[in-house]
A and B are shown apart, each in its own frame.
Chain A
Amino acid sequence: MTQQQLGSFPGGLKLPGHKKRSTQLPIRRMPISKRLVLPLQQHIGEAAVPIVEVGEKVLKGQRIARAEGHVSVCLHAPTSGVIKAIADHQVPHPSGLTAPCVMIETDGEDRWIERNPVPDFRSLSSHEIRQRVREAGIVGLGGAGFPSFIKLNPGVRHHVETLLINGAECEPYITCDDMIMRERAAGIIEGIEIMMFALRAKECVIAIEDNKPESISAMRFALTANKALSETTRIVIIPTKYPTGGEKQLIQVITGKEVPSKGLPIDIGIVCHNPGTAYAVGRAIRHGEPLLSRIVTVTGTDVTHAGNFETLFGTPIRELLEFCETKRQPDEPFIMGGPMMGYNLSGDDLPITKTSNCILAGVDEVAIASQPLPCIRCGECAVACPASLLPQQLYWYSRSKEFDKTEEYNLFDCIECGCCDYVCPSKIPLVSYFRFAKTEIMNQERERRKSDIARERHENRLARQERERVEKEERQKQRKAALAASKAAQKKAENTEAESTTEAAAVKEDN
């Protein structure tokens, strides 16, 4: 494989990584919690539908909820125990709302259900692989949680050139991808092989930022062990820059191509997956293990013993924080995800879900809530923007609620990476303004669609009534005419019976 010239994207930031804090110890297994809380919706799409009863005994890996609709995945019991309740519970979401969850009281035996491993994945069809990935409950583990089976479908219109494994992990503090690549490289390679097979991809690129030398060598070592795969797969070391891990930015760095606006990577023959997802796919197919746990980074200035933990879904975040010992007060807010794109949560009872990549308690260089100064139009935000937007214009129009203008300035190409916020000398919360504008526009859109449908219905109804009226009149007219004609014919027939075969025919024709 020849090393291709790397592309780059405009803007971005060189951020202090603070990654060493959580990479000093290997991945540890979080002890099984007494009680697990499993939200039915841990992915983008439709929530799963529970298929267990309260009081039912479940085994580790047993399905407890089925996928509903197309964009959905199944959910499994992360360990053996008893279903205690199916009820609303607080979930880790910025809204702080509750959502339906399955509560399991664990028995500590961790007894598996019968598994169905497929040592040779080539005996399966692409469709069967997707089905199994869906049934295994696998979603994108990078943080978005989009059902992975959909992204393993090349579809009929596209063909997949490149499977891109996103090992950039560009956000400061987060190290779960780094650690899984260091320690489970062989498993990731296994998963990649299956993904390539399902996608019928020509090549695979594993992109890793140059601040993760241990990951790079571990992945290299694992790849060389697989002769067949190393023919089509290469590891590309990319410069450390935020937000290189953004899908669009990574594609630009690796291929020099851009994902069309409002399009998907597959439009240019690329499918992007996280290394953790690849590992999960490998476990699901080769070992028959559904997705029951994930690696969670617990770190931050308030955490005494930071590190990465293999954590069962549903484990209370409080237990993780206690396990690591923190200086924080109970119920003090923490960040879910990274410091640039994560969101803050409070409530210690919240569970770890499929998308919980990092629990961050306390950051250096913290942004203090303060009254922002006016925009001085310095343009630093535009320089930092990786999408080449003009954030100062977007801010101006979002603030004045001129939403059509924000769309003209390509608001929806904003990936909300927060680079503009970071560099703003006036400390304006730009991303919050953009999110506000996006939400408003989407609401307006929804309203408009609703009223469009209502209006269309109304117009259709009027048209139908009008048509019916016209038809009715027409029918009446015809009936009248027919009646009149037949009467006239009768009269004529009575009067002049002898002649008029021709006339009668003419009258008939008139009718």
Chain B
Amino acid sequence: MSIFRLSPPYLAGANHVTLQMMQVLLALVPAVVAMVYFFGYGVLVNITLAVAVALATEALMLRIRERPVKPFLSDGSAVVTAVLLALAIPPLSPWWLTTVGVVFAIVFAKHLYGGLGYNPFNPAMVGYVLLLLSFPVEMTTWLPVASMSQQPVDLMMAISYVFTGQLPGALTMDTLSGATPLDAMKTQISQLRPPEVIMNQPLFGMFSGKGWEWVNFWFLLGGIYLIYKRVISWHVPVAMIGTLFVISGIFQLIAPELTGTPMFHLFSGATMIGAFFIATDPVSGSTTLKGRLIFGAGVGLLTFVIRVWGGYPDGVAFAVILMNMLVPLIDYYTQPRVYGAR
């Protein structure tokens, strides 16, 4: 026996932070492939850029804070933050947009609170919300699904646009971009167009936005893999998706003209990535099982409220951050009953 711990237990499980982060990244792969398929190579350029910036920022912050660089850089948490943020921003975004978002997430949302484990808010969502509030134009310039646009976005084109802002030929961002399904739904409902009519437009697919429903499906599958691998517990996703389903179902029955169907809500925008990859962030989420149900339900409810009555087409990021604020309160009031307590 070589060097072992000087206090019991002397056995250690295989569980490790780095391992968990790697599992999360692995579970994201199918959805990333789907996003590349539907939205072009810009997604990959975003991810690569975001990861590089995140690692550099993380290393710099660790150095400044005089923390050991290697163990913290290799824990994988910065990479996960970067990838989640990269997937949340439009597939063709200028380099500075990604950079600002990632740097803000790592520096302000993570390290200024004390680094890994100490951040009260989900860093990726803080970065996303900063970008959404500061650069609304860039953040809403989404691409319609590749098959619909005449001009598929290849790798060279994506790199060129991200780093120079140039598009080949006479193309401009205006001709390429279009509204997201959530956006279209919201705008047209405000013009009193009935949702079932909106759903017939070419932007929509079987029960949600074309392409988006598949992306959400693959996030869902990746999430189920994480539950199976016990990286996340089922409580947050089930509570969030369940609440969103129930509340949109209720409104479907009492006010169908107000918003889309429950299936539309479940498979639109950031629902699935939010349910399985963002709201499940352990650091900024609730720790008790009952608390996780409340936390997830709150995210689901707020997402619906913001989507229907708020100023933004999607509400997952705001919902997560708002619920993050409630975590200490939720945790305090949902402590399990201890063995032998009267």
- Residues of A participating in the B interface, judged by any CB pair closer than 8 Å: 9-10, 13, 15, 172, 248, 252, 258-263, 300-302, 328, 332-335, 339-344, 361-363, 365-369, 371, 373-380, 382-383, 386-390, 392-393, 409-410, 413, 416, 418, 421-427, 429, 431-432, 435
Q: Report the Cα distance A306→B339, complex, angstroms.
A: 37
Which of these, A261, A365, A367, A375, contacts B338 with CB under 8 Å?
Answer: A261
Distance from B70 Cβ to chain A, minimum over Cβ atoms (Å): 10
Q: Report the Cα distance A463→B35, complex, angstroms.
A: 83
Residue of chain B at shortest CB distance from A246: B339
Cβ of B15 under 8 Å from chain A: yes
With A328-B1, A363-B10 known as contacts, the answer to whether A377 contacts B336 (CB < 8 A) is: no
Say whether B116 contacts A388, CB under 8 Å. no
Q: Report the Cα distance A426→B7, complex, angstroms.
A: 16
Cβ of B9 under 8 Å from chain A: yes
Residue numbers in A under 8 Å from B8 (CB-CB) = 335, 339-344, 416, 418, 421, 431
Closest 8 pairs between A and B when the two form their complex, measured CB to CB: A374-B117, A418-B9, A367-B12, A261-B340, A378-B282, A387-B339, A379-B287, A362-B1
Q: Report the Cα distance A94→B283, complex, angstroms.
A: 35
Q: Report the Cα distance A262→B72, complex, angstroms.
A: 41
Residue of chain B at shortest CB distance from A340: B9
Say whether A379 contacts B11, CB under 8 Å. no
Q: Report the Cα distance A379→B286, complex, angstroms.
A: 9
Say whether A302 contacts B1, CB under 8 Å. yes
Q: Report the Cα distance A431→B11, complex, angstroms.
A: 13
Most buried by A among B4, B20, B331: B4
Q: Report the Cα distance A61→B7, complex, angstroms.
A: 36
With A260-B340, A374-B116, A425-B19 known as contacts, the answer to whether A335 contacts B10 (CB < 8 A) is: yes
With A376-B17, A378-B20, A382-B288 known as contacts, the answer to whether A369 contacts B5 (CB < 8 A) is: yes
Residue numbers in B under 8 Å from A342 (CB-CB) = 8, 10
Q: Report the Cα distance A366→B146, complex, angstroms.
A: 52
Say whether A365 contacts B12, CB under 8 Å. yes
With A387-B338, A390-B288, A410-B341 known as contacts, the answer to whether A374 contacts B115 (CB < 8 A) is: yes
Residue numbers in B under 8 Å from A377 (CB-CB) = 117, 282-283, 285, 287
Say whether B16 contacts A421, CB under 8 Å. no
Residue numbers in A under 8 Å from B289 (CB-CB) = 379, 382-383
Q: Report the Cα distance A402→B15, complex, angstroms.
A: 28
Q: Report the Cα distance A411→B287, complex, angstroms.
A: 18
Residue numbers in A under 8 Å from B342 (CB-CB) = 260-261
Cβ of B255 under 8 Å from chain A: no
Cβ of B68 under 8 Å from chain A: yes
Cβ of B137 under 8 Å from chain A: no
28 A-B contacts (beta carbon < 8 Å): A9-B339, A13-B13, A248-B339, A258-B340, A260-B340, A261-B338, A261-B339, A263-B340, A333-B1, A343-B8, A344-B6, A365-B13, A365-B14, A366-B10, A367-B4, A367-B9, A368-B4, A368-B5, A373-B75, A376-B17, A377-B282, A379-B287, A382-B336, A413-B338, A413-B341, A422-B9, A422-B11, A429-B5
Q: Report the Cα distance A259→B4, complex, angstroms.
A: 35
Residue of chain B at shortest CB distance from A408: B335
Residue numbers in A under 8 Å from B331 (CB-CB) = 393
Cβ of B202 under 8 Å from chain A: no
Q: Report the Cα distance A109→B118, complex, angstroms.
A: 67
Say whether A363 contacts B11, CB under 8 Å. yes
Distance from A438 Cβ to chain B, minimum over Cβ atoms (Å): 13
Residue numbers in B under 8 Å from A383 (CB-CB) = 233, 289
Q: Report the Cα distance A334→B116, complex, angstroms.
A: 35
Residue of chain B at shortest CB distance from A369: B5
Say whether B15 contacts A423, CB under 8 Å. yes
Residue numbers in A under 8 Å from B116 (CB-CB) = 373-374, 376
With A259-B340, A389-B338 known as contacts, the answer to whether A367 contacts B6 (CB < 8 A) is: no
Residue numbers in B under 8 Å from A9 (CB-CB) = 339
Residue of chain A at shortest CB distance from B235: A379
Say whether B17 contacts A373, CB under 8 Å. yes
Say whether B5 contacts A382, CB under 8 Å. no
Which of these, B15, B118, B292, B339, contacts A424 with CB under 8 Å?
Answer: B15
Cβ of B168 under 8 Å from chain A: no
Which of these, B11, B20, B68, B336, contacts A365 with CB under 8 Å?
Answer: B11
Q: Report the Cα distance A328→B285, complex, angstroms.
A: 46
Distance from A280 Cβ to chain B, minimum over Cβ atoms (Å): 26
Residue of chain A at shortest CB distance from B16: A425
Residue numbers in B under 8 Å from A371 (CB-CB) = 68, 71
Cβ of B3 under 8 Å from chain A: yes
